[in-house]
Structure 1
Amino acid sequence: MIFRSIKSRFAVISAVGASLAFTTNQAFAAGSAVLKPDDFVGISFWLISMALIASTVFFFLERDRVSAKWKTSLTVSGLVTLVAAVHYFYMREVWVTTGASPTVFRYIDWLITVPLLMIEFYLILSAIAKVPAGVFWRLMVGTLVMLVGGYLGEAGYLNVWLGFGIGMAGWAYILYEIFAGEASKINAQQAPASVQSAFNLMRWIVTIGWAIYPIGYFAGYLMGSDPAKSANMLNIIYNLADVLNKIAFGLIIWQVAVSETESAKK
């Protein structure tokens, strides 16, 4: 049994390592620029990509520690950080090679990872109660409105203020659902104390942590400052927001999963 567990863990680490090694080689093959010691934006891309890799391995390995009903939640947390790590290699390469904001890669990343983060609210509630499918779909709609509005504004398809307004409306809709909507009511009425605590921390990350993104958008596109300085500020703010919102979000889920599992054993 112990040998099987060790073998399973080794297989997870090997699979993640092989995937990321392939991605890294592909990213390096795309360009030959070298990261400069004074390129703090590029350095932030590298630091965060390494943190995301470490988080991915951690979440996948910790699946063996929690009960069956929490394994999907930890798997999704690992997928969020894995997808983000892959995209961060490519975003770093775009930045170091061209000096341009990797808007397309960033939004492809967000279009995959942000819905997965929203699914986590549904998953942790589903682990302790029967949750209507409408909760899932309302969170998805709010997420897509937020991301599509932001992308259209950043990519120049819409006026930047209009894109900003649409994105903020989607975010507000998500906040309503998790603070006053059906998801919030299920959490308050049916969840045990540990799940309620995790749910509350997660929604405050969506409130405070996600507030960093519109700050980045505002600094990058709406302040009218020098384009080069705006790009630097935009990417540093977005990168810091990603490391908080993706890794910390998963750690909260890991903590409640371990707590619930250990309580059930007593």
Structure 2
Amino acid sequence: MADIGQLIRDAPPVARTLAGATVLISFSSLVLRILDPMHFVYIPEVVFSIRGLHGISGLQVWRLVTSFLLTGPGLSVLMDPFFLFKYASDCERMKLSRKGDFTVFLVFVGSIILLLNTFIVHGMTFCSPLILALAYYWSSFSPPGTRVNFFIAQFPVKFLPWIMLLMTLVQGGNVFLDLTGIVASHAYIFLTEIWPEHGGGSNWLQAPADVVEGWYEKAERAMATPAPPPPRVAPRVAPRAAAAGGSVGVGAAPGATGSSFFGGSSGWSHRGQGHKLGG
């Protein structure tokens, strides 16, 4: 358990958050069944329409995010978060080391997956295509001679996303749904690497990545700055009562009880001598 805790603490922050949210939503919905998974899937008519669909209220924009955090049932509840954590961590450590770059990668890839599924594939959950997108990107920058183990087989790293796509086909999954992740990841590689290096264009995603990185740095500085100490308040000096004459020591607070009623400079001491009524 200590090793698992250390592994989680050492994981890159964005990958750790992404995998943790996937475990939380998927386990609560598909295993414990304390949440309805239909509240998290992607339904365009519910997300973008004010009227909603079949009694479901509209403008449920959180589905744009939660549809990527819901795995399939059965063994996928364990395996999908594992692969998501592995490839997201590798990408964030090796290539997308700035949190701003990795965040923009996720937003861009997720947007392409949503776009393709809105008009072509019509999928409802996108954890699997997101894993394929991360695996495709990771395999693209790995050294050419690298070999990876996938279950009991070993093969060159460039074949990794296609082997995973084949596994989806063997298990009876939606191959076209997973293929949207590969298309989205390739589009990111084209805009950030192929087009700037070989087409003479600009990396249009660099500017938003720099802006997001600045947000992260600002938030980290705010959290690291210690709070200013509270202002010191000078202790209030209590009046010292006189031993015999009832006088108050120097510095006594004016109007204090000892000063007013027991021989101070004001109060009853200047009211004159008392006389008995009728005397």
TM-score, length basis structure 2: 0.30
Greater CA radius of gyration, 1 or 2? Answer: 2
Q: If each structure's helix is expressed as a fraction of its own residues, which one has the higher value?
A: 1
TM-score, length basis structure 1: 0.31
